[in-house]
Structure 1
Amino acid sequence: MKILIISSYLPAPQWGASARSYYLLHALAEYHEVCLLALASPEEVQISAQLPLVQELNGRVTLLPFQPGGAKRRQQIETLLRGKSYWLEACILPEVQDAIDALYVQEPFDAVLYEGLFVAGYRLPPGVKIVLDQHNIEQELLWRTYQNEKEPVRKIYNWLEYRVLKRGELERCQQADLVLTTSGREQEWLQTRLSGQQIAVVPNGVDLERFQVDPARQEQAGRIIFTGTMDYYPNSTAVLAFARDYWPYIRRQIPGATWQIVGRKPPPEVERLGALPGVVVTGSVPDTRPYLAEAEVAIVPLSVGSGTRLKILEALAMQKAVVSTSIGCEGLELEANTHLLVADEPGAFVEAVVSLLRDAEKRARLGSAGRALVEQRYGWGYCGELLTRAVSVLTGDTVSSPVGTSFSASEGD
């Protein structure tokens, strides 16, 4: 079967949503002929012939240059005044529609996989099956952002955007033949609102070979870590709140404690946290594993989110003790006090982090249980099998033998 994957970014194994797209593309390409149509930075387009993913797909990749404009606030207001959602409109571009039409003329595809809600608004030929990969329930994420926001103008905007996006998200899901969610919680959430819709759970996963204990690196006493794309609102608000309400109290009890904030595109307010005692803001790094290897505790103090957190799965795969809020570990089949510690109030969160920094045996116990769990339920190989099975049921296509596409997850690290 021929499948066209449409994405608003170039899939790569290094970060969040992009990693999910990369590994699921990998799984489908084992059994189907896969083409990729993605928006990319002008720099990525310029060197596209040398990109590992382009080579792995034998050139069946179309990259279109996309640089978000600087007048985002004006565009948001103008879109709302037209009764539309900015987020549902931002990636719906004439040049992408033209590319879809041209690709179908050259070599008709049987199904389209939209990598995320925001690219799921294109016109497709009749009879093409539509699969929508819902990385998040976007209206839930926006509602929680509205509830969390303190700045009045942004709060009002989030409320107005939520009201428009809510309707559009459900409409796009209804137009799909199959909707994918990252957890059973989100599957149930959508099913109650879309009776009769075919919805399958394909969890987020982790590369179990890449993320494992690194015997060459020693944990640094008192080191904690937060990983994530830092211009993503749930991540930036989490570290800002942690710096204000948690970090001073951890340092008071463990004066030598250090905290690394590891992730690309930190906004200025996050970069300024590097001036705090014991805090390092790394910015973009080629590989998070060395930083995880040297940490004693991974923290996930999120108050906003949807979907599930790959950062937790990666930390558990490296046998790290994790402290998370309930929202941070939402949707993952984890048991508090067995696989990680869960705390929602600042005082309890601080106590959990401090207790782990002081108890190597407890860290080891949680880390070992976490690794065993991800090996059982969250390897990308298992997640890919679930996707392949769901797509085959949808299309009536029998999966037999791989088509021979070879992938290397370590490429481009």
Structure 2
Amino acid sequence: MKTLILTNRVPFPPNSGYPIVVYNTIKGLLRLGVDITLFSINTNKHRVDTDDIYDPVFENINFHSFNLDTEVNVWGALFNIFSNESYNVSRYFDDDAAKLLEDILKEKQFDVIQFEGLFVVPYLDIVKANSSAKIIYRAHNIEFDVWERIAITERFTPRRKYLQFLARRLKIYETEQINRFHQVFAISEQDRHAILRFGCEVGIEVFPVALDFERYVINTAKPSFPTLFHIGSMDWRPNKEGLEWFLDEIWPDIEKLNSELRFYIAGKNMQREFFEYDSDNLVVEGEVFDAVEFINSKSIMIVPLLSGSGMRVKIIEGMAMKKCVIATSMAAEGIRCEPGKDIMIADTADEFYRSILQCITNPNKWHEIGENARKTVERDHDISTISERMLNIYQKLVSA
């Protein structure tokens, strides 16, 4: 089975949500003998020096990348208003990148070509013109839904109007493209229903985040208590807004509960404002070398997202490390979890306060939830099970 995977960033190293999903997809399919070619847009924002990648997964694929500046600029955004294109998506298309992809398609015949996310869909016409492969679209989230929710929380009226404009353009593009594929993969059952609602007429299956549990080894001697922690990329607006809300509205009351309580926050591109926050019990780590080790060393995971879509990979990782996760309903969206059993849900400041207080005063509670959380992700997110299902669909599509 010869498969080409297209990505909007290089998924090495697998250090955040999108790269982890793609990396584990490739890893699982390689184990099943699939021949993988990867074509990645190497953006300035997430630039990877591909000469410095040392990874057994990387060594077993055919890799191609194209360096591209996808940063937002004022003139590009302004001129885009007078076009019919989605500025969110069009920034990822480049004629030279399309030529490189065309050359790859002419050099090798593929059975399946998988588009990982909406931002590589602008290359769909190139693929269709140069390949007879079955084409799959994998929706990592509902992109326009993310922007609609961000717009709702924006208080500055001109910026809110522009975000709403971007969301409308994105919705038109996203809904128009969905039926141009042979198959759609959604990352959650909620996203599957959303895609069906906006007119998907092709086959659609749910493939959640896959984890290789050999990587998630718990050292019970390391976690310190009482500790709260949050980890996530701070250049993703929903993470930043959610953490600001938690620190402003909830944390001042929480840190009074116990003088030894510490709240650790980590993630790439940590904003200066978090380092300057006035709290002796807040520890800002910035980007950490090993996210799994960071998660292992802390007790209770806080995920206060107020907007977003898809599935939060860091929650899945926290659950895999037997952590008690306290998250908003928005953050837990798409995960087959049961509040009070394998996760704690808090949507208001008062609910976060009560949940954290319960865990601090009753350590057995967060231990129990952590144990159940591990069982849940082993049931739903095992890399072997998910990869075998994906390969079965590949085989059915090719033989049809």
Q: TM-score range by the shorter chain?
A: over 0.9
Question: Could you tell me how far apart the structure 1 residues matched to 2:48 and 2:377 are?
Answer: 35
Equivalent-residue separation in structure 2 for 1:8 and 1:356 (angstroms): 40
Alpha-carbon shift at residue 336 of structure 1 (Å): 0.5
Using the alignment, how far apart are the partners of 2:295 and 2:48 within structure 1?
A: 31
Deviation for aligned residue 1:229? 1.2
Q: Deviations over 1:188-219 (max 9, x none)?
A: 111122242211100013331212311341x2
C-alpha displacement of 1:64 = 1.5
Give the aligned partner of residue 286 of structure 1: 289
Aligned residue for 2:135? Answer: 130
Deviation at 1:332, TM superposition (A): 0.7
1:386 to 381, 389, 392: 389
Structure-1 separation of matches of 2:39 and 2:70: 18
Equivalent residue number for residue 11 of structure 2:
11
1:330-351: per-residue Cα shift (whole Å, max 9, x none)? 1111000011111111111111
Amino acid at match of 1:304: S
Q: Is the Cα contact below 8 Å between 2:10 and 2:48 reproduced in 1? A: no
Give the whole-Å Cα distance in 2 for the aligned partners of 1:117 and 1:174.
13
Greater than 4 Å deviation, 4+ residue runs: 41-47
**Judging changes above 3 Å, is the alpha-carbon distance between structure 1 residues 153 and 247 closer, same or farther for their aligned structure 2 residues?**
same
Give the SS at the match of 1:180: strand
Cα gap change, 1:188 to 1:10, in 2 (>3 Å): same
**In the TM superposition, what is the alpha-carbon distance from 1:240 to its structure 2 partner?**
0.7
Alpha-carbon distance between aligned partners in 2 of 1:206 and 1:300, rounded to the nearest angstrom: 20
Paired position in structure 2 for 1:408 = none
Q: Does 1:358 align with 2:365?
A: no
Partners of 2:109 and 2:386 lie apart in 1 by 27
Structure 1 gap segments, 5+ residues each: 398-413
Aligned 8 A contact 1:9 1:40 in 2: yes
Structure 1 residues 331 and 119 mapped into 2: Cα distance closer, same or farther (>3 Å)?
same
Q: How does 1:1-400 map to 2 (within 5 A)?
A: 1-12=1-12, 13-29=14-30, 30-40=32-42, 46-48=49-51, 50-52=53-55, 55-58=58-61, 60-69=62-71, 72-122=73-123, 123-124=126-127, 125-217=130-222, 219-273=223-277, 275-396=278-399
Deviation digits for residues 229-286 of structure 1 (CA, Å, limit 9, x no counterpart): 111111111111111011001012223221111111123334433x432112222222
Residues 260, 73 of structure 1: CA spacing in aligned structure 2 closer, same or farther, 3 A cutoff? Answer: farther
Would the alpha carbon gap of residues 221 and 371 (structure 1) be closer, same or farther in structure 2, given more than 3 Å must change? same
AA in 1 matched with 2:95: P
Cα RMSD (Å): 2.0
Scaled by the length of structure 1, the TM-score of the pair is 0.90
Q: CA distance change for structure 1 residues 209 and 54 in 2, over 3 Å: closer, same or farther?
A: closer
Distance 2:203 2:282 in 1: 46
Q: Is the 8 A contact 2:179 2:200 kept in 1?
A: no
How far is the alpha carbon of 1:108 from its aligned partner?
2.2
Question: CA offset at residue 320 of structure 1?
Answer: 0.8
Q: Distance in 1 between matches of 2:161 and 2:58?
A: 46
**SS of corresponding position for 2:329:** coil
Given that 1:45 and 1:65 are in contact with CA atoms closer than 8 Å, whether structure 2 keeps it comes out as no
Post-superposition offset of 1:171: 1.6
SS in 2 for 1:112: strand
Matched-pair identity in %: 24
Displacement of 1:358: 1.9
What is the identity, as a one-letter code, of the residue corresponding to 1:244? Answer: D
SS where residue 233 of structure 2 aligns? Answer: coil
Summarize the Cα distance change of 1:221–1:50 in structure 2 as closer, same or farther, 3 Å threshold.
closer
How far off its partner does 1:363 sit? Answer: 0.9
Given that 1:326 and 1:343 are in contact with CA atoms closer than 8 Å, whether structure 2 keeps it comes out as yes
Q: Alpha carbons of 1:66 and 1:216: their partners in 2 closer, same or farther (altered >3 Å)?
A: farther
**CA distance in structure 1 between the partners assigned to 2:304 and 2:47 by the alignment:** 33
Higher RCO (C-alpha under 8 Å, 6+ residues apart): 1
Q: CA deviation at 1:54?
A: 7.2
The whole-number CA distance in structure 2 between the counterparts of 1:40 and 1:158 is: 25
C-alpha change, 1:154 and 1:132, in structure 2 (3 Å) is same
Q: Tell me how many residue pairs correspond in the alignment.
A: 393
Which digits, 9 at most, give the CA deviation of each residue in 1:60-102, with x for residues without a partner? 1012122334x53432232222132111111111122111110
Contact 1:27 1:388 in 2 (8 A): no
- Matches of 1:49 and 1:269, distance apart in 2: 32
Q: Would you say the 8 A contact 1:308–1:330 is kept in 2? A: yes
CA distance in 2, matches of 1:317, 1:40: 30
